[in-house]
Amino acid sequence: MPEPDFQSASFREAELRSERTRVKVLLGVLASLLVLILIRAGVSLAQGHTGQAWPFALALGLTAAYEAAWLVFLGRAITFGASISRPRWIGSILVESLLPTAVVLLQVHTPLIGPQRALASPVLLVYLLFTILSALHLDPSLPRMAGGFAAAGYSLVAIYTFLRFPEAAGNEKLLAYATAFSCAVLLCLGGFAAGAVAGQIRLSVVAAIQEAAARAKIAHDLSIANSIQQGLLPKDPPQVEGFDIAGWNRPADETGGDYFDWQQLPEGQVAFTIADVTGHGIGPALCMSTCRAYARAGFTEERDLQDFLCSLNEFLYQDLPPEKFVTMAVGLLDPDEASLELISAGHGPLLHYLSAEDRFRSYDAQGLPLGLIPNLNYSRPQVLKFAPGDILVLVTDGFIEWANKDDEEFGQRRLTEVIRANRSMPAAKIISELYAAVSRFAGREPQFDDLTALIVKRI
């Protein structure tokens, strides 16, 4: 599989962060090796051998100093969003391969180890450790180089040893040469194995970055859609003498299928709508926008609510997907008469609080939801008379059906209790208290449906 050509800023940052993690691990390894050398030095000192450990400690110290400087360089590159040139990456691999090579060379000249044992000492594992960690470079070619540098360094030391100390090969020179060659080949193969791992890690990182970018784009688009949708809702309540009117909407997702609206008509009447498209999310939001456009256009031509709903149903039946429909309640307020015609296409609850009697009157729907079937007819609207203090409450089922941890829904009874308890408040405050009450009731349970409320109150 070809290596991905993905050099975005996000990938470069991921590459640098991965390298920083690798260097931190490597510094921990070097510290552990230094402790191990000091322990062995103490043992050697106890046996009367002095001056054996300091060259190894010096090599480790120099390598650790280089890695610490490299770590600082990486931190600055991440902070300033800089990239690292390929020669620098290669140089870092080369410098790191020098440590085990130098240690093996030192062991050749160490009396306790000598040329015969140096070429098969545990230092070979340090070569492999460095090569394995190089997989975190996220560039498959760099671990392969690490393996190549390790094999080359070891081979040079082996050649030097056999030439400088012929006795290191013993009586079976061919076997000694073959063993050294096998070690070099294994170091090189380790680099290719680490390169394969680095390639898979790179693919995973690229896929994760691409997925994150796609999610960010979707979130950005949904944020724009939310702004557009919220912009379609009325900004200010209509100025109607003798009435206090408020509406509110909170979608369950970034976008939703609920909406409310009002239009002040030339004759002094005010048309109200509250609607709920099945589902929530971007699809119902688009359906909601269509429904709102048709409703607004319809009120400019039609004042008869029965004809209005019949006409709207035909448009929505033609435009909505088969699985979608709209429940809607429509009101036409006459401020002079303090009366309101109310008609519902499958929407509820429709609650009218009668202040003088301190009770609620509930109204049934006059027909099916919009968009289900063509050629629907609706019954005549209810006519509500408003006395001072009377309140019309129109909400979507998100309020009623929001359940708590015991799967108990908020319900219509609690809704009416909140309205009654706050009946003296302004309309907007009543809605605020209603939302606060249902939120307290639900607790930590998430909001699964859109919430919309519209209140018309006679002052």
DSSP 278-341: SS-SHHHHHHHHHHHHHHHHHHHH---HHHHHHHHHHHHHHHS-TT--EEEEEEEEETTTTEEE
Q: Is residue 238 scored above 60 in pLDDT?
A: yes
pLDDT of residue 302: 81
Q: What percent of the chain has pLDDT over 70?
A: 97
- Calculate helix-pair angle for 411-421, 427-442, nearest 10 degrees: 140
pLDDT of residue 56: 81
What is the per-residue burial (b if ≥16 Cβ within 10 Å, else e) of 391-408? bbbbbbbbbbebeeeeee
pLDDT of residue 2: 43
* Dist CA 175 CA 178 (whole Å): 5
Mean pLDDT of 375-396: 95
Q: Is the peptide bond before 122 cis (omega within 30 degrees of 0)?
A: no
Mean pLDDT of 374-380: 92
Of 312, 254, 319, 314, nearest to 281 (Cα)? Answer: 254
pLDDT of residue 3: 43
Query: Contact 292/259 with Cβ under 8 angstroms?
Result: yes
Using CA atoms in the order 93, 96, 102, 107, what is the torsion angle rounded to 10 degrees?
-120
State the DSSP code for 122: T
Q: What percent of the chain has pLDDT over 90?
A: 65
Query: Contact 43/50 with Cβ under 8 angstroms?
Result: no
pLDDT of residue 4: 44
Beginning with the edge strand found earlier in the chain, give each strand of the sheet holding 359-363 in spatial order. Answer: 243-250, 451-458, 391-395, 350-354, 359-363
List Cβ neighbours of 385 (8 Å cut-off, separation of 6 or more).
338, 339
pLDDT grade, residue 342 (50/70/90)? very high
pLDDT one-digit tens code per residue, 289-341: 999 999 999 988 888 999 999 999 999 999 998 889 999 999 999 999 999 99
pLDDT of residue 1: 40
Query: Contact 73/95 with Cβ under 8 angstroms?
Result: no
Angstrom CA distances, 297 to 59, 161, 262, 266, 281, stand at 83, 94, 12, 14, 25
Partners of 272 in the beta sheet?
Answer: 262, 331
pLDDT of residue 42: 76
pLDDT of residue 255: 85
pLDDT one-digit tens code per residue, 90-133: 999 999 999 899 989 998 988 878 888 889 888 888 899 999 99
Q: Is residue 225 scored above 90 in pLDDT?
A: no
pLDDT of residue 271: 96
Mean pLDDT of 40-67: 77
